Chain A
Amino acid sequence: MTTGTESLPAPRGGTGADGRRFGALRLFGGKAKGGEDAAKRVQFSSPYLPYLFLAPQLAIIFVFFYWPSIQAIQSSFYLEDPFGFGSTFVGMANYTDVMKSGEYLGIAKFTAIFTTLVTFFALSIGLLLAVKADGVIRGNATYKTLLIWVYAIAPPVAGLIGMMFFDQHIGPIVELARWFGWDIKVGLNYSDTAFAMIVVSVWKQIPYNFIFFLSGLQGIPVAVREAAAMDCRSGFRRFWTVILPLLAPTAFFLLIINVTYALFDTFGVIDVLVKDKAANNPITLVYKVYMDGFRGNDLGGSSAQSVILMLIVFVLTIFQFRFIERRVHYN
């Protein structure tokens, strides 16, 4: 897979990752003069030294990201037999074929809806739980651990657990829904499978959002909260006007992470839930790339699709840095 979350640059601020990296650089080299000056600026004895330090990481990025990306872009303009005997330059034909296919557009539409719903529910439920957990005083460690442990589950395993819950013959959720007169048929009915995919994907992502929201909440100074409490009696309004704006950097960071999660990392969940046979079930764009490329051996077509995905990530990144970041206040 040439696209993925790796392609997203680490968000600035918020996590403090940049600060730590600076500290590490200072340890390794340069003449640290001591005092405040050195804490702000990093100096190296030779102008080439920083590049030398960066080289291993750049090499890895080049080999594992840029090089495959270039290959994907190149083969998206060709039609070739998988074994590499004949390859014909077809220009934009692979792209126009994909764009003309009603099936592909349908999958794109589902991907958009799926991503929106998964992001919305994973963020809002994560936030709700974090706010509630923040208020718990007794036994909060147990409470938090219970909410966090799900994050340790790998997506395919989450998919497997979800599949058992939604099994046509023995699934407890299916039994439960039957009481309400809803006959869930995952693998057979398009919207039922979509429902199961969204539930499992959201469930898997909630703990991640929970951890970040909780630490974000705990980072809000007590003084601010107390001042707000004096000014306003309504807890709900305090949350909207004071707490939420202060959580904005965390929320924004999570928004991007959740969108990429829904777009790319839900692959395992989907693969397990459709049992390797997409049939008339909903799938996302990434799954389509896999089906055409790895199972169908249509290299040109699936390369074109993965280039389209790369463009989506590119747009998302621009959106992240140009459009939203300016409007979010970091403390």
Chain B
Amino acid sequence: MFKKISLAAFTLAFSATSSLAATNITWWHGMAGRNGEVINEISQKFNEAQSACALTPVSKGTYEEALASGIAAFRSGEQPNILQVFDAGAATIINAKGAVVPAEDLIIKAGHNFDRNAFIDGVRYFYADSEGKFVGMPFNSSAPIMYVNDEALKKAGVEAPKTWEEFEAAAPKLKAAGYIPLVQSQLTWQFTENFFSRNNIQFATNNNGYDSVVDTTLKVTDPNLVMMFDKLKAWKDEGYFAFYGAGWNDNQKVFEEGKAAFWIGSSGSFGGLQKTAQMPFSATFLPYWNAIEGAGTNSFIGGAALFAMSGKTDEENKCVADFFQFLTSPEIQYFYHKATGYVAITKAAYELAQKDGYYKEKPVAEVGIKQLMLPAGDWSKGYRLGFYPQIREIMEREYGRIFSGEATVKDAFDTIEKEGNDLLARFAKTAG
């Protein structure tokens, strides 16, 4: 209640300074620190660029808190115009029919052109419906990529691997040179969801969940995925892979300190890494298995999208559409790309960054986009799974058990599949 009042007061105070005739719209997001400041800068740019609309961004804490606040507000009819929802929460908001106005409809209704092909491939489908219509507007987007400790490679005399087979060959040399060959920061996103995309394997039935919520089941007992984790476990036992739990930073730290040769992080990590890494580093694509037929496809995005909440007036919706239009303009995309390290989501913005020479200066910044622009496969578009934040929690739990020796790889995936399918069935009931 207090939050609501202070929010209202803030909105009021803010709108008083802008033109009186302007239509006020609000944007709730889950970004903090520098990324939160950039959101304020973008909003300011939008407000300065036109006078019909006044946009107020409000930080709601983390991704999960932003979604929970958005839901609570929607239930009491106080929802913001724009809500930022993270990748794993996409099914929650998209399957609640009537909670959002699809971004594409909104933009067309406001009289703008909308070209799906303007967006890069790895971004296009994740927040779209099964026909490819944009429901959410992709916003901060990232890809899981592999960071490389250049010093370690030189010392061990190896090349950065493209495939896991090449990694396996290089690992003993790296270990002999005194390095931990591999660390990663998020097994769910990097070694599960994007294992399916990079190796072009089906993740769940019903077209990875895009076609229907009814009877959607996980396919995580896929022999290839089980093989990947058998390998990881074997690599850990050999000393080729180190695991420090589900916390992102605990795993990143050994790479920053120059103790690890490869780290699977996010394309958005490089800004921070530039400040913390104690050695020269570069980056390359997330490896795939050469042995898997058809592997090497693009990965899909992580991060979050913006959703236009329903129940708003036409003027406000017009403003939201104008803002989405503004947000996807090459200049703003390039600004956001440079300021945060998230990838540019349109082809035009990518070309602008190229023309400007940004990637000559910072080659690492281009790796994520290039990986998202690799040829797509049938299963590299994304997934749409209900209660997915909880399914991720089950995965995190079982993966922890694998590496602490409490469960075998096979048992762990059997558990994930069973508990995950129970949750999907439960979700189908809530959405039905």
Complex interface: chain A residues within 8 A of B396 (CB):
277-280
Instruction: Give the distance in Å from the alpha carbon of A279 to the alpha carbon of B430 in the complex.
Output: 25
CB of A168 within 8 Å of the partner chain: yes
Residue in chain A with minimal CB distance to B65: A294
Residue in chain A with minimal CB distance to B187: A279
CB distance from B52 to the nearest CB of A (A): 29
Once A79-B426, A83-B99, A297-B67 are accepted as A-B contacts, the answer to whether A291 and B393 lie under 8 Å apart by CB is yes
B253 touches A169 (CB 8 A): yes
Which among A188, A300, A301 is the interface contact of B245 at CB below 8 angstroms? Answer: A188
B431 touches A86 (CB 8 A): yes
Once A80-B430, A83-B96 are accepted as A-B contacts, the answer to whether A188 and B244 lie under 8 Å apart by CB is yes
**Which of A262-289 touch B at CB < 8 Å?**
275-281
A82 touches B71 (CB 8 A): yes
Complex interface: chain A residues within 8 A of B399 (CB):
279-280
Complex interface: chain B residues within 8 A of A186 (CB):
245
Complex interface: chain B residues within 8 A of A298 (CB):
387, 390, 426
Which among B67, B246, B431 is the interface contact of A81 at CB below 8 angstroms? Answer: B431
Complex interface: chain A residues within 8 A of B390 (CB):
291-292, 295-296, 298
CB of A187 within 8 Å of the partner chain: yes
CB distance from B168 to the nearest CB of A (A): 24
Complex interface: chain B residues within 8 A of A218 (CB):
none
B68 touches A279 (CB 8 A): no
A85 touches B98 (CB 8 A): yes
Residue in chain A with minimal CB distance to B405: A189
Instruction: Give the distance in Å from the alpha carbon of A273 to the alpha carbon of B95 in the complex.
Output: 34
Complex interface: chain A residues within 8 A of B249 (CB):
275
Complex interface: chain B residues within 8 A of A277 (CB):
245-247, 396
CB of B164 within 8 Å of the partner chain: no
Once A294-B64, A295-B389 are accepted as A-B contacts, the answer to whether A280 and B426 lie under 8 Å apart by CB is no
A88 touches B397 (CB 8 A): no
Once A81-B431, A82-B96 are accepted as A-B contacts, the answer to whether A297 and B406 lie under 8 Å apart by CB is no
Which among A83, A90, A280, A281 is the interface contact of B398 at CB below 8 angstroms? Answer: A280
CB of B275 within 8 Å of the partner chain: no
CB of B239 within 8 Å of the partner chain: no
CB of B250 within 8 Å of the partner chain: yes
CB of B92 within 8 Å of the partner chain: yes
Residue in chain B with minimal CB distance to A300: B430
CB of B429 within 8 Å of the partner chain: yes
Complex interface: chain B residues within 8 A of A292 (CB):
390
Complex interface: chain B residues within 8 A of A295 (CB):
64, 68, 389-390, 393
29 contacts between A and B (CB under 8 A): A82-B96, A82-B430, A83-B71, A83-B74, A83-B75, A83-B93, A83-B96, A86-B431, A88-B432, A187-B244, A187-B246, A188-B243, A188-B244, A275-B247, A277-B245, A277-B246, A277-B396, A278-B246, A279-B246, A279-B393, A280-B397, A280-B401, A292-B390, A294-B65, A295-B390, A297-B92, A297-B389, A298-B390, A300-B430
CB of B419 within 8 Å of the partner chain: yes
Task: Count residues of A near B (Cβ-Cβ below 8 Å).
Answer: 37
B393 touches A278 (CB 8 A): yes
Instruction: Give the distance in Å from the alpha carbon of A80 to the alpha carbon of B431 in the complex.
Output: 7
SS of A interface (majority): loop
CB distance from A130 to the nearest CB of B (A): 37
Q: Interface readout for B101-132 with A: 1 if CB under 8 Å, 0 if not?
A: 00000000000000000000000000000000
**Which of A91-105 touch B at CB < 8 Å?**
97, 103
CB of A84 within 8 Å of the partner chain: yes
Residue in chain B with minimal CB distance to A186: B245
Residue in chain B with minimal CB distance to A87: B430
Given A83-B74, A275-B249, A279-B245, list of 9 further CB < 8 A pairs? A81-B92, A82-B96, A83-B71, A187-B246, A188-B245, A275-B246, A280-B404, A291-B390, A298-B387
B68 touches A297 (CB 8 A): yes
B397 touches A279 (CB 8 A): yes
Complex interface: chain B residues within 8 A of A87 (CB):
430
For A97, A275, A277, the residue with the greatest tally of chain B CB atoms inside 10 Å of its CB is A277
Once A296-B389, A296-B390 are accepted as A-B contacts, the answer to whether A86 and B430 lie under 8 Å apart by CB is yes
CB distance from B312 to the nearest CB of A (A): 15
CB distance from B155 to the nearest CB of A (A): 22
For B93, B254, B390, the residue with the greatest tally of chain A CB atoms inside 10 Å of its CB is B390
Complex interface: chain A residues within 8 A of B254 (CB):
169
CB distance from A159 to the nearest CB of B (A): 14
Residue in chain A with minimal CB distance to B89: A297
CB of A26 within 8 Å of the partner chain: no
Instruction: Give the distance in Å from the alpha carbon of A80 to the alpha carbon of B245 in the complex.
Output: 33
**Which of A107-140 touch B at CB < 8 Å?**
none
Complex interface: chain A residues within 8 A of B419 (CB):
103
CB of B271 within 8 Å of the partner chain: no
A81 touches B245 (CB 8 A): no
CB distance from B50 to the nearest CB of A (A): 31
A187 touches B247 (CB 8 A): yes
Once A278-B396, A280-B397, A296-B390 are accepted as A-B contacts, the answer to whether A82 and B245 lie under 8 Å apart by CB is no
CB distance from A58 to the nearest CB of B (A): 19
Complex interface: chain A residues within 8 A of B74 (CB):
83-84
CB of B400 within 8 Å of the partner chain: yes
CB of A185 within 8 Å of the partner chain: yes
**Which of A15-43 touch B at CB < 8 Å?**
none
CB of B403 within 8 Å of the partner chain: yes
CB of A190 within 8 Å of the partner chain: yes
Complex interface: chain B residues within 8 A of A190 (CB):
404, 406
Complex interface: chain B residues within 8 A of A276 (CB):
62
**Which of A176-212 touch B at CB < 8 Å?**
185-190
Instruction: Give the distance in Å from the alpha carbon of A160 to the alpha carbon of B249 in the complex.
Output: 15
Complex interface: chain A residues within 8 A of B430 (CB):
79-82, 86-88, 300
B244 touches A88 (CB 8 A): no
Residue in chain A with minimal CB distance to B254: A169
CB distance from B362 to the nearest CB of A (A): 28
Complex interface: chain A residues within 8 A of B247 (CB):
187, 275, 277
Q: Interface readout for A291-326 with B: 1 if CB under 8 Å, 0 if not?
A: 110111110110000000000000000000000000
Once A88-B429, A168-B244 are accepted as A-B contacts, the answer to whether A81 and B95 lie under 8 Å apart by CB is yes
Instruction: Give the distance in Å from the alpha carbon of A189 to the alpha carbon of B92 in the complex.
Output: 32
Complex interface: chain B residues within 8 A of A187 (CB):
244-247, 250
